[in-house]
Amino acid sequence: MTVVPQSGGGAVATGSGTGNLYDIVELILDRGLVIDAFVRVSLVGIEILKVDARVVVASVDTYLRFAEACNRLDLEAGRKKPAQLTDIVGEVTEGGARGKAKGALTGAVQAFTDSLQEGRNAEEVPMERPRRATRRREDRED
């Protein structure tokens, strides 16, 4: 539903409405209760791009691609090391870092209001991939 950029950090997207079904479509299609005696409609011809399980392919092509990607890396370029995982749960519970995360917190509360109280998100929004930091182009084999 919303993508909240964190200052100097990663992005976390939250929400549960149909605004963005991409990340939950596998739950809707593959989980949930079934009644054995009933039938399930065929999902053949499904227009939704179903997320594929990532297969770590031990293939020559994959290895060569990885090697090439490594060769291309600019090793001199600086990078930020992620901060250590200190006691995040403790911090939250104790409210020690609330001020710092205030902007993000607001977004979260909004999401709860939407889904728990109103329980509907009627707007028709294309089920597209959210913005992402990663795009893998690994070769896949089924």
Partner 1 sequence: MSVYVYAITSATHPLRLDGLKGVGDPPGELRTVCTESLCAVISDAPEELRAKRRDVAAHQDVQQRLLGEGTALPMRFGLVGPDDDAVRATLEEHAEHYTQRLGELAGRVEFNLKAAQAEEAALRDVLEQSDEVRRLNEITRAGGTHDDRLALGEMVAQQVEANQQALAGEIVEVLRPIAQAQVISPSLQDAFLNASFLVDKDRAQDFSEVGRKLAERYGEDFEFRLRGPLPPYSFV
Please, which of residues 36-95 interact with partner 1 by CB under 8 A? 37-41, 43, 45-48, 51-54, 56, 58, 60, 62-71, 73, 75, 79-85, 88-89, 91-93
- Residues 14-33 binding partner 1 (CB under 8 A) are 14-18, 21, 23-25, 27-33
Residue of the chain from 76, 99, 117, 142 that contacts partner 1 (CB under 8 A): 117
The rounded distance, in Å, linking the Cα atoms of 120 and 16 is 9
* Contact of 1 with 17, CB cutoff 8 Å: yes
**Cβ of residue 68: shortest distance to partner 1, in angstroms?**
8
* Contact of 139 with 65, CB cutoff 8 Å: yes
**Cβ of residue 42: shortest distance to partner 1, in angstroms?**
8
Residue of the chain from 94, 120, 139, 141 that contacts partner 1 (CB under 8 A): 120
Torsion of CA 15, 21, 26, 32, to 10 degrees: 70
Cα 72 from chain centroid? 27
By CB under 8 A, tell whether 10 contacts partner 1.
yes
**Cβ of residue 94: shortest distance to partner 1, in angstroms?**
11
- For 20, other C-beta atoms within 10 Å of its C-beta total 21
